[in-house]
Structure formats: C-alpha cells, structure tokens
Structure 1
Amino acid sequence: MKKRFLLLIVAVLLTMSALTGCSSSTKSDSSAANGTDQTGNAAEGTKSFNMVLRHIHIRDTAKKSLEILQETVKKTESEVPGLTFVLDGVEDAVNRDVKLKAEMAAGTQPPVFSLFGGADTRNYSKAGRLLPLNDILKELNIQDSFFDLREFTVDGQIYGLPESGYIEGFFYNKKLFEQAEAKVPTNWDELVTAMEQLKSKGITPIAMGAGSGDGWVINMLVNSMFVALGGPELQEGFATGATKWTDPAVVETFKRIRMMVDKQYIDPNVLGLKFPQGQANFYTGKAAMLFDGSWAVNAISGESSTVKADTGFFRFPDVGGPGDGYINGGWSNGYGFSATVKDQELTAVKAFINNFYNQENQKRTLVETSQIPAMKGISDLQGANELIKTIGEAQGSAKGAFPAFDSLVQPKIKVTLESTMQQLLGGKIEPEKAAERMQKIQDEANTENK
C-alpha cells in the first residue's frame, strides 16, 4: 500500500492539538524568565553581553536555513536584556572535525554550537562540556515534542536538539533515465544495468564530489551498502567488537565501490571535486543520479537547478541481504550548548530554544528548506516541495531506519574511513586491505575505550 508523506509525521498528526496547546504556554513562560516587563523592555541596569552561536549554514543552498536562524536570533535578542549573538558560520566538516574538537579538548567551546549526535555527543558529555537539557525542555513544555532524541541522549540526559531530520538515497533525473531507456532500479542487478545503459549513452551515471576534506560523501553510499548486505546490526557491533570491518558484507561493499569506479559509473573526477561541485553536476543535468541526503532537495529545487521538475528519488536497492528495505535516516545534526554558560547566558539559551524549536519554525523547515522536521505535529503541508513528498513516501515504505555509522563508532573511525575510501576511489588500496586497515584502527579505538 502506498504510504503518504513521512510515516513518522503521519503517525503523530493526531497529536497536533495537544502540541499546539503547548506552544502558546511557552511564550509567556519565556518572557517571565527573561527578566523583561510586560512590554518586553529590558530591566534597568542590565549588563550587555555577547554570545557566540556557531552554525553550519554557509552555502548558497542553506540560505533559507540561515534566514530562519537569523530571525530566531533577532527575536531572542529582543527578549533577553543586553544580549547580542555573534553568528559564527563554519563549514560542517571543519566545525565537527577541527574547530569544535579542539575547543572541546581545551574547554573553550562556544555557548551555542552545531553538534552532531551519537559518538560526538557521548564523548563531549562524558568530558563535562555539554549542558544537560532535560529540565529546560520540561520548563518549556516541549520534552515530548521531538521525533527522536536518542542520538543526543547519554545515560538518560539530553545534551542536544536536532535541527531537522534526514534520509539518504538516490536522486535521479527522469529525463536522462528515459533517454537511456533505463528503469528505476529496485535491486542491485537493476542498478548495475541502469548505470551501464546511462554510460553507453555518454551520461555520467552517478555525480559525486569526494575530494580534499569531503571524503564523508562517498561514505553515505558505503554505509547504505554494507547495511543492506549485512544488516543494521553490523554497524552496531563495530565499537563493541561483535562485528568487524573485515566481515564479508564490508569487504563486498568495498569491492562493489571499486567496481563502480573502475567502470566509471561514479564520476571519474570524483576526487577532483568538492561536495558542492558534485551536487551541482547533478542539479545542472550533467549526471543521472546523486546519492545524497534529503537536505539536497534545497539545492535540487534552487535557482541554479535545471532539473527541479525532473527529479525523482528512490531508496538504496535491495541486494539480497538482511538489511534490504532499511533506509539511512535520523536526526543527527542539531545544536548543543556549553556546560559553562553563566546565568545571563542560560537565560538566553532557554529563550533561543523556545524561539527556535516551535511549530512555526518546523513548518518553515519543511516548506522552505525541504528538510524533514525534528518535531511532531506539523499539519499544514501546503507549499511543501513535491520531491520531499516523494522522499517521505520512500521513508514510509521502508522496513525501518538506521543511523549513520559515524554516530555509532569512535570519531577516529569516521576519519579513517574517509581517507581509506578516498584511496579506494583513487585505486591506491585494494578492498581487502582497506577492510584490514579499518579493523586495525577499530581495534585500537576499542582498546582505548576500555
């Protein structure tokens, strides 16, 4: 049976009225806590203070997300006496793998910052760097308003809030598929056939930019493939030692990726392109497919796109393994807050959460940025992009969802897989050796964590 738009969203629409009642009460609570009078004027004698807010909305395709953030910042500043936010826009990988990692080690993290769930949240919370949010969410009456906070929860404490959700899969150009007489694949053999048909017509089958610091891009495809071949429990066992990177499903994944490179099913210039350039090759009609997250809808539907009316979506095809039917999806990217915030800053944190995480902003996230909301109860979907609805149907037809592998393993594993897959793409390492390297680093990481 065909399911309509986002299984999880549909499942909670019936709770809409209860959640709507929550949002009206939180505003009055916030203004009282902020130390403003009934007109919203700041109390006399309030000291001015600045707060850095680190975000990752720096690309042209993230303009709408940045606008929502900027409007939230402006509203929060008007409510909190003396507050000025200093927005610090940093590229996602640089923030996660360089700046934030160094700041957390030194204890100099910003008051508000983009945070990735899973291993990052676990490590930073164990180090005492993250502000627990349970009491704040109860105070604002939104503790039950999110779809899934598991990736930001450690030992029962919530340390971050997802900005939006995602699923990953193949975007495809319907016109190029028709030109090559290819059909939308439902299994691995059909995918290989489609890639060969496209290539025979002089069409690049899969757009991708995984050069320089963008090794994570290929790992979206790798992740979906080894889960399909080995099941979700495969990646759940890496950090515990229950499974290994040398297991057959992973080695077979590396072999198939190498085959796709050798046959030039993946853009031959994959290592010469950055992520946005690879994306652009799809949304300007130069390639037939793009394996990406639902966040890519914003670029595909943007002003520079020539394929916005011709793009479809399908989840990773079945391969005959225990992970068939599952889809990579979750709520991993969001905001965290420093454990060292002072009283004035804590007031600002509460106001920011209240102003950012509400029904109005969540609907804007869906309609304006085509990203899957993090909160329940979005009912008016008028204006939502047709492509995001198709993505929702793909999610709804899936057997289940699994998180990105890097939310389950130590950070050094993520970095190692990125460099290793770049070498595999460049023909510098064989699949079996790649698997052995990964397991060696995994063993080291597991020993360090004992």
Structure 2
Amino acid sequence: MKKWFLNWGWIAVYAVVLAISVLIIAGAGHEPIEEKQAEKVTITFRHFWIKEHDRQMLNIVEDVVAQFQETHPNVKVNFEGMDQTVHREQKLKSEMVTGTPPDMFVLFGGAEIEPYVRSNRLMDLTDFLEGNGLKEQFQDLHLWTFDNHIYGLPIEGNAEPLFYNKEIFDDLGLEPPETLEDLNKVIDVLIAHGITPFALGNEERWPAAIFAHYLMDRYAGPGLINELVQGDESLSFQNPSYWKAFKQLKSWIDENAFYPPANDLSTEEAIERFTNGEAAMYLNGSWDINLFHNERAPAGFQNQVGVIPFPSLTEGGNRSIAGGYTIGIGLSSNLEESKWEAAQELLKALYSEEVQRRIVYEASRIPSMKITYDSEKTGPVFAQVVEMMEQSNQSFVPYDNVLPPEVNKTFLKVLEEMISKRAKPEEALEQIQQTSEQYWQLRRSSLLSETDGGAGW
C-alpha cells in the first residue's frame, strides 16, 4: 500500500486539488483557464507613392501603419506600392471587374471611381464618417460623393500653378505673364536667349493634359467640359474653342517650347531642368514643391521660384486654377466584418489632425481636412501656392478627373501624339469625340440594361 501511494497516490491528490480549483473558479463565475484572444486580421493596402516627389507622403503613411500595428497586435497591414499608371489603368480596373481589389487602396475621386460605385465595388463610408464626427472636418468631399453617399476620403488637396524662375525673368527683364499674349511674348524672348520655356516630363502621359485643360478652359470657359462629360449629344469636342486651344498648344510644340524629349522625361528629370536653369517655367501640381528644395536642387532654389495662376485669354479674364481634393483612399465593399472593423480604426488613425499637419509640414501638401497650421513653417513656395488659392475665386477640377476613363485615355494618347508631332489638332479632337460617342453609346445601353434588371458593369 505504501509503495502504491508513493507511485500513484500523488497523482490522485493532484487530481482532487485540480478538481476543487476548477469548482472554485466556476463558482466564482469565471471561465476555467482558457484565455480569449483577438482574431488575427490581415489587411491589404495598395498605394502609388513610389516616386521621389511622394517620398515624404510615403514616410508619413508608413509611420501611421507601423504605429497602428503596434497598438493593434492582432492586425497585420500588407502595405505595398505600385506604379500609379499600372495601378489605376490596369491592375485595379481588372480587379474591380472580378471583385478582387485590395482591402484598401489609393485612388482618384471623380469620374474614375464612378463605375466602381455603380457596380457596388466601393465601400460606402457615409455612416463611418457621421458616426465618428468626421464628415464636417473635410474641406470638400464632392468628388467622392454619389447620390449623397461617400465612397472614399481625400488624403490631400492640390493646385496646378505655373511655377517660374524669378532670377531668369529678372535677368531678361520679363514680367510674370497675365494673359496668353504675354505668355507667348515670354516664350519668344526665352527661346531667343537659348532657354527652354517649359520643363515638361510627360513620361506618365498625364502632365501634358495640364497644358491642354488650361488652354481648353481659357478658350471655351468652364461650362462646356461639364456638359460634355455628362454626355450632352448636342455638343462636341470638335468645336472652334477647343480647336483654338489645341492650335495654341501645337504652336508651342512647333516652337520647341518644351524641353526635349518631353514624352520620355520623368517628372523628376523635368524638375531638374527647371531647378538647374535650363527651363524657365514648370506647370504641374503643388505635390512637386518638395523637389524644389531636395538634395538635387541648388541651395536656396526655392527662394527663386515664383507662383502664378495660368494666364487668362484676355486682360482681366478668367484665371481659374485647376485643382481639388482628388487623391484619396477607398475600401473594397467585400470586406468581412473583422477586416471592416480594423480598416475603420486605420482610417481614424490616418485622418487625424496630427497626420494632416505632417502632410503640410513634411510633404508640402495641401491638407484635405480643416486644420490650423503655421504658414511660416511651410516654406516660401507652399506659402505662395496657398496665397494664390486664397486670392482666386474660381477653380475647376482637372480634366483627367472629370472625363470618363475611356475618354481620358484617348485624351492623354492624342496629346502624346501631338507632342511627338504625329497628330494635328483636328485629328486629336476627332479621336476624342469618337471615343466619347462610343463611351456614351455603351453607357446608355448599360443604363438600359440596369433598368431591365441587368448587371450594368
């Protein structure tokens, strides 16, 4: 017996003690030993902040994602970058057709997301905004709003001014141009002195559209494009005003007003031509400001940069500024509940006053939310951009954000052909009009199909 107890008795005693412990715990209303753990969640998040001028934006968002994962150890964020054109024109479009987009992704508001909204591929964020008191904190959500529902959130704002080298202008006795006639005279003087008027990096094709949409706006006014993008069959891209706009663009191309080879230069390469004095002017977005004072730019160059609106057609005429709150973040409508809950927390981390101030101070970007910041800390070029916007009472959304995607693709293609001297103004406008007619024919058939119970994608 003694031998049995020594061999097995301790096991019996341990079992009795364990049973009593379990009874005590259960009697106290506690679960026995098992510990509940938070569900593991993985979110895919794709961006296109891979270019040098986006480096600061990438750093800011990477910091937010890293901090978010520290405070949410059960959530992993697969944060991946992709070329903007590949993402917008190829990858995301095909993913939307198959219903397999990333959980979160950077995209442009306006016409680009309309088909995604119509096909129910984007998450409706209206309740999220209202539930967290965020809706009224944004500057402008109209490019992300369809039928009073919000399908994405702008992360930054932008403007597209004409930047010019004040030192070159002063040396040649030139005044900043206020009209297109003034601008043409400036171009003539610059060419005569062996200085390229414009630095244009059209490698990604959309930068040339900035010249085109400003000229189209100046010759035709703001109303025509708004009616064309709504499919008004009584109007056409082949109109006298747009022909004059494209003819003016062609005259600059023929004069070699753009640093060659414009279609092969990247944004960064074009800006180098501007910062080193080879080109006197640069027309692009405020998102490029940080490249005026990076390690490649001459010391103090940002103090030589002047900022003005694109010139008007006539003296005292319209000098509206292209820009808006176009770049933002959208979510897939297919998110499971656990992913949706995690994504909401990440959105709240991204859209905070602290992050928006970092976007201003570190990335020199216009905040998309209503925040206060010290303008003296933003640098001289950013301050000029903000001052220009405050003084302007007119603006319009860049055409590549309002044209239907198929029409915009042709728009960018014909501009590339014009710059390489392979298309005339009338041929370019004819191609745009043909694509527009085809788009609206298909769109109306799709709407009819939806009415009859079809899918409508």
Q: In the aligned structure 2, how far is the partner of 1:447 from the partner of 1:320?
A: 37
1:64 deviates by: 1.3
1:359-438 correspondence runs (5 A) = 359-438=353-432
In the alignment, which residue of structure 1 is the partner of 2:441? 447
- Distance across 2 between alignment mates of 1:185 and 1:83: 54
Q: Deviations over 1:9-56 (max 9, x none)?
A: xxxxxxxxxxxxxxxxxxxxxxxxxxxxxxxxxx84223232111111
Q: Does 1:147 align with 2:147?
A: no
**Is 1:70 aligned with 2:66?**
no
* 1:3-402 correspondence runs (5 A): 44-211=36-203, 214-239=204-229, 240-241=231-232, 243-306=235-298, 307-320=301-314, 324-402=318-396
Q: CA RMSD in A?
A: 1.7
The aligned length equals 406
Q: Report the 3-state secondary structure (helix = DSSP H, G, I; strand = E; otherwise coil) of the residue aligned with 1:447.
A: helix
Aligned-partner Cα distance in 2 for 1:295–1:85: 26
What amino acid is the match of 2:418? L
* Alpha carbons 1:325, 1:399 under 8 Å: kept: no
Contact 1:232 1:323 in 2 (8 A): no
1:160-183 per-position Cα deviation (integer Å, ceiling 9, x unaligned): 001100111211111111222221
Q: CA deviation at 1:131?
A: 0.5
Distance 1:67 1:427 in 2: 40
**Matched letter for residue 114 of structure 1:** V
Q: Distance in 2 between matches of 1:321 and 1:127?
A: 46
Please list the CA deviations of residues 206-245 of structure 1 after superposition, one character each: whole Å capped at 9, or x if unmatched: 001213xx21110011111111111111110112225321
TM-score by length of 1: 0.87
SS in 1 for 2:136: coil
| 2:106 partner SS | strand
**Secondary structure class of the residue paired with 1:332:** strand
- Displacement after TM superposition at 1:81 (Å): 4.3
Shift of 1:322: 11
Tell me which residue corresponds to 1:26.
Answer: none
Contact 1:215/1:419 (<8 A) preserved: yes
Higher Cα radius of gyration = 2
Unaligned runs of 5+ in 2: 1-34, 445-457
Instruction: Please say if residues 406 and 413 of structure 1, whose CA atoms lie closer than 8 Å, have aligned partners that are also in contact.
Output: no
Does the residue aligned with 2:307 lie in a helix, a strand or coil? Answer: strand
Q: Which runs of 5+ in 1 are unaligned?
A: 1-42
Residue 290 of structure 1 and its aligned partner are, at CA, apart by 0.6
Structure 1: how far apart are the matches of 2:54 and 2:128?
Answer: 28
Kept after mapping to 1: 8 A contact 2:126/2:150: yes
Inter-partner Cα distance in structure 2 for 1:253 and 1:94: 30
C-alpha change, 1:444 and 1:337, in structure 2 (3 Å) is: same
